[in-house]
Structure 1
Amino acid sequence: MSTPNEPGQPGQPGQPGEPGVLVLAGTPIGDPSDAPARLGAELAAADIVAAEDTRRLRRLARELDVRPAGRVVSYFEGNERARTPELARELERGARVLLVTDAGMPSVSDPGYRLVVAAVTAGARVTAVPGPSAVLTALAVSGLPVDRFCFEGFLPRRAGERAARLAEVAAEPRTLVFFEAPHRLGATLAAMAEAFGGERRAAVCRELTKTHEEVRRGPLRELAAWAEAGGARGEITLVVAGAERAPARSADPAELARRVADREAAGEPRKAAIAGVAREAGLPKRQV
């Protein structure tokens, strides 16, 4: 008689009565050969495969020359709320559930977050098969700073709501990454030029890793004009430079000294007081 295998590995269920495993698997964003090596093993081992589009999942499985052994069910925006409890119950019974989306990592502007929360609540293990990401790929090829960035996903479709969201991040110094549909790209770039300034640098990354991949870089005003002329089709990821920091302000030395002294009198260590005042004043600590 074989001994039970360690839970969490493909094809190796946990002990009877133990909660199951939820596996979030990355899928190619374009080129099928970018599929993670472990994806085929997970497809062959899962009790249930929850896919954003079951037809695309079966096409990918054929390209990987693997046949899903378990039940394949749809899990997309329209049924995510209703299907999550069903999958959570299967996890409670010890099932191995594999979650895949059409492209990239689940939960990143795609279904998955609700199921992860439900799995954690059920005591199931949550793990991942890391894979391609349009966000990181676009950042890498954009030519814009990548040391600090934030992902904003899709902007609101309505012009007023979109303008309000862009106003919220206009002063953000980190590089910004957005997803957008091609038919809204021109309006979005024009709104960005209005909110951020037409000279703000950006990159439109189109059809990443696919045959017609294109990365178009330039000021927002130029990119907006290009897009309005019908320049973009396919999957779009936008990368926009962060706001430039305002130049350091000067301040009255006596006022700075008083503010540091007030912090020290309140019990704050001198170095911490200096750092706090420098942060508030927008000045280097050395100057304070």
Structure 2
Amino acid sequence: MKKILIIVPDGGMLFESAGIADILMQANQLHTDGLARPRYHINIATTQPHQVIHTGRGQNEQEGTDVVDWLRLAAPHARRIASICGGAMLLAQSGLLNGRRATTHWKLLETMQSTFPEVKVEEGPLYIQDGPIWTSGGVSSGFDLTLALVEEDYGFSLARDIAQDLVMYLHRPGGQLQFSRYNLRQTCSSGPISDLQAWILENITADLCVEALAEKVAMSPRNFTRIFTRETGVSPARYVSEARLAAAWQHLEKTSDTLDRIAANTGFGSSINLRRIFEKQLQLTPGEYRQRFHCRNVIIFCHLRHKARDLK
């Protein structure tokens, strides 16, 4: 039997801890014939003395410090430690992630990397295992991590049966990536680079090679690349690629345009280039992305438009 302690901060999302507990309880209930005791013994704890968890409020600093201190003491006695979403920040603060690969919610990735440079932060995966330490991305990716723990403990068949009973993916399509809204890196102060970033977003189909951008701000390509990277944290080529990819996302989500038209309107030139970038960055085709994130109103509108045309 595995003993699982789930620590829920005050202000945390309750469906997160409840969902994890439900997955583990489902493991206890399935195929119980011949089991002398349940597979998992589950406890849910909070740091609050009143033992009541309030949702919708942020974790206070003292609570975080208490959890970090406890983690340092408990880690040597635990077979594995897992974090969900922003919980990875507490693991990093405790030093348990030093030298290890880890992930967290996409909004916290840059903060985590800059605050804890000894952690090998990875963006994209729903969860990462590095030795006895498991970390996951956004809230629902904790469910993916929990299924992976069950599979490690009791095998593929049990994890698959749980996923089927709860109508979940055992392994999500798309290379197990967590999707983020692109937060294009803006400079903190006004100036030529900030103005250029705004111009790029408004002229996404223009010639945005380094030489053309450098000429626009009256710099040499080498000096421009150095200053742009210093002020934004990414190279000009990376920024342009992210800007075009973000624009393509919006077109796929909000329009019924063909891939050729989207590619032309976002600077990719052809649907082949668009597909290549999507598969490289997201491990999904543009069509698969559209299927998962397309606005329902667009689908309804397109259906009604086709119906009206048929009636003519």
What TM-score does the superposition give when structure 2 sets the normalisation length? 0.28
More strand by share: 1
Identify the structure with the greater helix proportion.
2
TM-score of the aligned structures, taking structure 1 as reference length: 0.30
Bigger Rg, which one: 1
With CA pairs under 8 Å and 6+ residues apart, which has the higher RCO, 1 or 2? 1
